[in-house]
Amino acid sequence: MLGTHSPALNLAVRDLEAARRFYAETLGLTQVSEMEGLIDFRSGNVMLYVYQSEFAGTNQATAATWSVGEEIEAMIATLKSRGVSFEHYTNIPGLAVRGDIHVGDQPDGSAGEFKVAWFRDPDGNLLSLTNGRSA
């Protein structure tokens, strides 16, 4: 039923202008439209909606993940040059922290290392990059 359709991401923010700068300028997403309290961005073939909410920043789980393949190190370097700080978690079973990247075995048992890096938007929404599969 829904398996042939792409989901959209919805992220609550307090400050729409700060969100616009972060998602467009820092992350490089394309702004599609805007209405009162809502900005629509496109990332690949997925829509990401940021909207004003009193609940902004209350989600403590990963809100969005970009699968970037072997570009992960270069993207981390670019994001750091744009002022993004990365999170370091030492209590995740099976993952070791190497710089700003958490490294472990591929979840599906395939060859190579699984890599993931977490960072936050201006409202504290937890976002991540991974070298894992995108589809």
Residue 112 DSSP class: S
CB 86 within 8 A of CB 117: yes
pLDDT tens across the length of the chain (135 residues): 888 888 899 999 999 999 999 999 999 999 999 999 999 999 999 999 999 999 998 988 999 999 999 999 999 999 999 999 999 999 999 899 999 999 988 777 776 789 999 999 999 999 999 998 655
Give all strands (DSSP E) within the chain, no chain letters: 9-13, 30-35, 38-43, 46-52, 62-67, 86-87, 96-98, 101-105, 113-120, 126-130
* Element of type H or E holding 81: helix 72-81
Q: Which two tokens stand for residue 69?
A: 């393949």
For 1-54, the fitting CATH number among 3.10.180.10, 1.10.357.20, 3.40.1190.20, 3.40.50.2300 is: 3.10.180.10
pLDDT at residue 133, rounded to an integer: 66
Whole-angstrom distance, CA of residue 55 vs CA of residue 116: 26
pLDDT at 57: 86
Cα gap 129→120, rounded to integer Å: 11
Residues 120-135: b if buried by 16+ CB within 10 A, e if exposed = bbbbebbbbbbbbeee
Residue extents of the structural domains in the chain: 1-54, 62-135
- The distance in angstroms from the start CA to the end CA of the chain is 17
